[in-house]
Amino acid sequence: MFVFILTWIHFKTDAIMSDGTPLKVYVWLPDDTVNKKFPALLVRTPYDTLGLIDSSTISQIISNNLAYVVNPLRGYWGSGGIRSPFLNDGWGPNQDGKEIAIWITNQSWSNDTICTFGGSALGFAQYFLEGTDFDLTCAVPSVAGFSLYHEVFYGGEFRKFIVENWLSAVNATMWLDTIEKYAVYSDNTPWAWINGYSRNSYFNAPMLHITGWFDAFTEGAISAFKYIKQYGGPRAKNYQYLIIGPWIHYINKDTVGDLIFPSNSKIDLNLYHFYWFLYWIKGIGDWNSIKRVKFYLMGDLSTNDTTRWNRWIETDDFPPENTYYQTWFLVKDSLKLTSPYYLKDSSYYNYDPNNPVPTIGGFDFFGMYNPDSILFGPRNLNPINNRNDVLIFTSDILNQPLAVIGQPILNLYASSNRLDTDFIVMLADVYPDGRSILISEGVLKARHRNGLDREDLLNPNEIYQFTIKLRNTAYVFNQGHRIRIYITSSKYPSYEPNPNNGGPFKRNDPNKLIALNKVFTGQVYPSYILLPVNNSIIGIKEIASTLKVKSCLIKNRQAVCDGYIPNYVYDVNGRALMNQNLKKGLYFVKMDRKLFKVFVHN
């Protein structure tokens, strides 16, 4: 019998940054007298390093003849400087991530190959390092975002619960005042130093993005995958991969909120890491033939059938090919595929920021609270059904399953009697037993309706068209279920309650006003939600594949199709437009409950 004893060399030292700040670096090297230079796996963290230096983790890395480097961020666990999570880790005046990577390449034991891994804050640190002009060999960011501003201010509104509690957990609440000061995005503020959207071309490493449908930062991971795939450097464009499970911030957990997913929802992510590093560091294996996206298609959990949904799907992109937007109109208190039969109607509610709608379920879990709290995941929203500040629109019972895969978008006609307010929309699956399970949500601070980099206050009582993007999802609404939309103006403590006063952003603003908010529906103001549908994935023939083509002409700047004048048409993005003042281009018209392509020729 042969007994192999794995040994390694371990030391800690300081890496001195350009401004003189010493950052602590923990290093483990294989005790190899033959191979003196090694590829390195790098982790950068604001958390206690003890969880990253357990003997099991070290053994797995060292056994593959890799060096392991753990670097606490500035101000944490032996590193000097002021605690300022991520502000010194991007491409601002201090670029700690880049300088640590350069420090590694300058060591006698380094062969200049560096890959990174880690989740949450460790994932953010990877995105911000890769956004500098240092080229990593590869990276595996998990449950992390691409731009810090867009994670702090979602739809322009402050994510109160997650930001305040995370900064408290990492002893950095002194930055809350700075966040308050820079509530409007600008490239002339520190937000620009950690905004991946502005640095797409700098991303030049193969990346395996891992997230969950109910994670706090799902949108950031999906956006990073898409943007780098389209705009990244030559090494990055063709080698972006994405895994999305039915998870919260605790990945590979099958109990999520009120739902318990089948055991197939858990996969061996350690194995994915291993094969990823093996390929990009040592050239062993084949990732070229692997589909770029692997996502879990969620659905009705009252059935044990996992052949159509509650299973993994592998595609070349997300959303998958043949996904199209289906329009569901808000009609009175219902959702309809057919257009409203009336010209104009409205529903209203009084939003009182002193009595906000309580958070039930959602996307705020970040790892430092009980994951089974009612605040997190897909929860039953019925407790808010009878509130007078919540509007509910529910479809008829579905006669066949509907696979919604991608980003739902709400086109909302609404007004407020205040200078500013919020609109929050929640998408839910109504089970036959009456449960209304949260699937996705979106929020828009009204003053940011034209962009997060500007503020346009409302004219009181004027009707505006708002576009509210919900979180991406992949969910099958089963036959016998109903689709439900909730519209309100608060969700506390998830988001800062908008005080409705139109003043500069202030946390816990004492000057709170009650807002009278109205939602409009009908042919004049066709509020609707666009659901990204792909029923081919569950074996149902797509309506979109049988579209007929008609030719339309402009008469009096309206589309006239074979003598028929529709009240509205759809553009190529699925948005309903009033049939007036149309320009040349491609539109869609719904006639006799069928959708026709139409071309406006002149």
Determine contact, residues 84/177, Cβ cutoff 8 Å: no
pLDDT at res. 264: 95
pLDDT at res. 361: 97
Question: pTM for the full model?
Answer: 0.89
Structure tokens, 388? 């007078």
Average pLDDT score over residue span 126-132: 98
pLDDT at res. 574: 63
Task: Give residue 539's region: left, alpha or beta (phi > 0; psi -120 to 50).
Answer: left
What residues contact 588, with CB distance under 8 A and at least 6 apart?
569, 570, 571, 595, 596, 597, 598
pLDDT at res. 570: 74
Structure tokens, 151? 């994670």
Q: How far apart are CA 178 and CA 33, in angstroms?
A: 51
pLDDT at res. 8: 84
Sign of CA dihedral 80, 83, 89, 92: negative
> 372: pLDDT confidence band, cut at 50, 70 and 90?
confident
> Is CATH 3.40.50.1820 what the domain over 1-136 is classified as, yes or no?
yes
Average pLDDT score over residue span 315-326: 95
Q: Decide: helix, strand or coil at residue 295.
A: strand
| Preceding amide of 401 cis, omega within 30 | no
Residue type, 44: R
pLDDT, one tens digit per residue, over 436-474 is 999 999 999 999 999 999 999 999 999 999 999 999 999
Q: How far apart are CA 584 and CA 158, in angstroms?
A: 40
Q: How far apart are CA 402 and CA 480, in angstroms?
A: 11
Please state the φ and ψ torsions of residue 331, each to the nearest 5 degrees: -125, 110
Q: What ranges do the domains of the chain cover?
A: 1-136, 324-538, 547-600
At which residue do the structure tokens 């039915």 appear? 246
Question: What CATH number is given for 324-538 in this structure?
Answer: 2.60.120.260
Q: How far apart are CA 509 and CA 506, in angstroms?
A: 5
Q: pLDDT averaged over the chain?
A: 91
Residue type, 94: N
pLDDT, one tens digit per residue, over 8-36 is 888 999 999 999 999 999 999 998 767 78
Structure tokens, 162? 């997650």
Q: How far apart are CA 212 and CA 158, in angstroms?
A: 22
Structure tokens, 212? 């969950």
Q: Where are the beta strands (DSSP E) in 493-539?
A: 515-521, 528-533
Nearest to 553 by CA among 564, 545, 568, 541: 564
Nearest to 562 by CA among 574, 549, 572: 549
pLDDT at res. 591: 61
Average pLDDT score over residue span 82-88: 95
Determine contact, residues 77/24, Cβ cutoff 8 Å: yes
Q: DSSP secondary structure string, 333-348?
A: TEEESSPPSSS-EEEE
- Flag the least confident range among 301-305, 325-329, 480-484: 301-305
Q: How far apart are CA 414 and CA 13, in angstroms?
A: 59
Both ends of the chain: CA-CA distance in Å?
Answer: 85
Determine contact, residues 126/206, Cβ cutoff 8 Å: no
Residue type, 47: Y
Nearest to 529 by CA among 580, 579, 473, 581: 473
pLDDT at res. 546: 34
188 CB-contact burial (10 Å; exposed 0-12 / middle 13-18 / buried 19+): exposed
> 547: pLDDT confidence band, cut at 50, 70 and 90?
very low
Nearest to 361 by CA among 346, 345, 381, 347: 381
pLDDT at res. 43: 97
Residue 147 has pLDDT above 70, yes or no: yes
Domains 1-136 and 324-538 share a fold: no
Q: How far apart are CA 484 and CA 208, in angstroms?
A: 34
Residue type, 410: L
Determine contact, residues 327/337, Cβ cutoff 8 Å: yes
pLDDT at res. 368: 73
> 123: pLDDT confidence band, cut at 50, 70 and 90?
very high
pLDDT, one tens digit per residue, over 174-191 is 999 999 999 999 999 999
